């Protein structure tokens, strides 16, 4: 992996449960860590339905570290250039502990 390719800043957010003053539990996204990544556009699909929409997939390549090794596709998401991306899969690159790839799909706006 060439370090010079890691030119985009991403923030990985973790889903956490927060309790408010009266005891209600609420799921929120809290920043877990931030690092530099190489972002490559995987594909752009257009879905046909009542309202046509475009879905973008992006693959993020990051250096392996203890924080990235714990990221899973269920409890984490990526924030990149103001957009939120759901992690679809985590590729550990043959367990070499050098690089990890996150295949992500942009979350639809609400």
CATH number at 70 reads: 2.40.10.270
Q: What is the pLDDT of residue 56?
A: 80
* Domains in the chain, number: 1
Q: What is the pLDDT of residues 17-34, one digit of tens each?
A: 999 899 999 999 999 999
pLDDT of 110 > 70? The answer is no
For 37, counting Cβ atoms within 10 Å of its Cβ (0-12 exposed, 13-18 middle, 19+ buried), the class is: buried
Q: What is the pLDDT of residues 64-105, one digit of tens each?
A: 999 998 999 999 999 999 999 999 999 998 888 899 999 999
Say if residues 36 and 7 touch (Cβ distance below 8 Å).
yes
What is this structure's pTM? 0.80
Percent of the chain at pLDDT > 70 equals: 86
Q: What is the pLDDT of residue 76?
A: 96
Which domain does 90 fall in, by range? 3-106
As a whole number of angstroms, the distance between CA 34 and CA 79 comes to: 9
Closest CA to 32 of 2, 62, 58: 62
As a whole number of angstroms, the distance between CA 107 and CA 77 comes to: 9
As a whole number of angstroms, the distance between CA 77 and CA 87 comes to: 6
């Amino acid at each position: 992996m060439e370090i010079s390719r890691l030119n985009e800043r991403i923030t990985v957010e973790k889903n956490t449960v927060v309790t408010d003053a009266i005891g209600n539990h609420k799921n929120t996204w809290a920043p877990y860590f931030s690092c530099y990544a190489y972002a490559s556009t995987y594909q752009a699909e257009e879905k046909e339905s009542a309202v046509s929409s475009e879905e973008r997939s992006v693959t993020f390549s990051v250096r392996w570290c203890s924080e990235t090794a714990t990221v899973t596709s269920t409890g984490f998401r990526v924030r990149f250039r103001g957009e939120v991306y759901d992690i679809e899969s985590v590729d550990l690159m043959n367990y070499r502990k050098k690089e990890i790839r996150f295949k992500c799909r942009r979350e639809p706006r609400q």
